[in-house]
């Protein structure tokens, strides 16, 4: 099916926009998790004693860039969003905001965020990483959703960069510790997003989105990827301890959390149902915040 066949023949009549519609453009729940990982990067890079100004500027600048990326993502996906029940009432397909308004708003938010990071932080690397994150998310990951099931792996790259933004805001370099944080979030995202894609696979198929569960109807490849990435996550999550960022408490907790996440993916492999996919999703939403909090708490007890 060609993408052109997905376009509606006419735009829906424009309804009155609400303040909540502008808030929905930035997807606040997603943004909160992004900003949490940015803050974790700042705290870990500063050994638990960050400059409040650096923390504030990194969070505010990243929030603006993330808001711009989310807005432009919805601008580019407005036609496919209209074909899925879970997204058909978003401001653009719902007809409450005009595409031109969202395009301008998203562009201005992104430019403002990147300029803010550049002007307020002494380390220019943070703005460069934020710009790369934005570009790969909007211009690479977003169009690839309609072209290849590998889009999840591509999308995991910008999704794993927020803690690197926080780290570079303090230190200005992408060193081994920053790479360890990136790898943890990168590996975590694959089972997390595959679970979401499985839950909504029929809607994705209707919209012409080539998520892996859309082409893998039996769930064999999907479950295999979930298990593999959860397995890889356990040793990779120990890298911070090997790099001196945390101690034995973190090691024990990381292994237990990894086994907890892995158990949910094994459950999906045994029974590839929507209910089990939701269990994987819930496990993923427990795993990452818990792991980062554990790293922060245990790492701060080690000190410089």
- The list of the chain residues with pLDDT below 70 reads 1-17, 299-304
Nearest alpha carbon to residue 163 among 274, 6, 67, 291: 291
Query: What would the pLDDT profile of 107-155 be if each residue is shown by its tens digit?
Result: 999 999 999 999 999 999 999 999 999 999 999 999 999 999 999 999 9
Please give the C-alpha separations between residue 257 and each of 194, 250, 265, 298, in angstroms, as whole numbers: 19, 10, 13, 15
DSSP 8-state secondary structure symbol assigned to residue 139: I
161 φ, ψ (degrees, to nearest 5)? -90, -20
- State residue 19's pLDDT score: 83
- State residue 29's pLDDT score: 87
SS (H, E, C) 43-91: HHHCCCCCCHHHHHHHHHHHHHHHHHHHHHHHHHCHHHHCCCCCCCCCC
Longest dimension (CA), the chain: 62
Helices assigned H by DSSP within the chain: 19-25, 28-45, 52-76, 78-81, 99-120, 125-136, 142-144, 151-159, 162-171, 176-199, 201-206, 212-215, 220-236, 239-242, 248-270, 274-302
Token reading at 207: 């919209």
**Contact 182/160 with Cβ under 8 angstroms?**
yes
> CA–CA separation, 7 vs 121, rounded Å?
43
Write out the H or E segment, with its range, that includes residue 150: none
Query: What would the pLDDT profile of 83-94 be if each residue is shown by its tens digit?
Result: 999 999 999 999
> CA–CA separation, 246 vs 227, rounded Å?
26
CA angle 82, 66, 180 (to 5 degrees): 120
């Amino acid at each position: 099916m060609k993408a052109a066949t997905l376009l509606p023949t006419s735009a829906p009549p424009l309804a009155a926009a609400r303040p909540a519609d502008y808030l929905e453009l930035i997807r606040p729940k997603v943004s909160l998790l992004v900003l949490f990982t940015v803050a974790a990067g700042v705290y870990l890079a500063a050994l638990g004693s960050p400059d409040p100004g650096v923390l504030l500027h990194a969070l505010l600048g990243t929030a603006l860039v993330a808001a711009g990326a989310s807005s432009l993502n919805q601008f580019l996906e407005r036609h496919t969003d209209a074909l899925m029940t879970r997204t058909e009432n978003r401001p653009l397909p719902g007809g409450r905001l005009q595409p031109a308004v969202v395009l301008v708003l998203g562009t201005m938010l992104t430019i403002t965020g990147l300029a803010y990071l550049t002007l307020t932080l002494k380390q220019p690397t943070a703005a460069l990483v934020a710009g790369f994150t934005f570009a790969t998310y909007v211009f690479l990951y977003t169009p690839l959703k309609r072209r290849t099931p590998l889009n999840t792996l591509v999308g995991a790259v910008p999704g794993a960069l927020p803690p690197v933004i926080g780290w570079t805001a303090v230190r200005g370099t992408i060193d081994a510790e920053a790479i360890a944080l990136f790898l943890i979030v990168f590996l975590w995202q694959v089972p997390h997003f595959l679970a979401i894609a499985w839950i909504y696979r029929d809607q994705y198929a209707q919209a012409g989105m080539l998520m892996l569960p859309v082409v893998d109807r039996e769930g064999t490849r999907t479950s295999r990827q979930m298990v593999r990435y959860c397995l890889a996550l356990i040793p990779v999550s120990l890298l911070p301890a090997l790099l001196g960022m945390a101690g034995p408490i973190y090691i024990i907790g990381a292994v237990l959390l990894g086994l907890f996440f892995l158990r949910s993916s094994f459950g999906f492999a045994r029974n590839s149902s929507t209910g089990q996919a939701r269990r994987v999703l819930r496990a993923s939403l427990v795993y990452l915040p818990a792991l980062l909090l554990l790293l922060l708490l245990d790492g701060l007890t080690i000190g410089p």
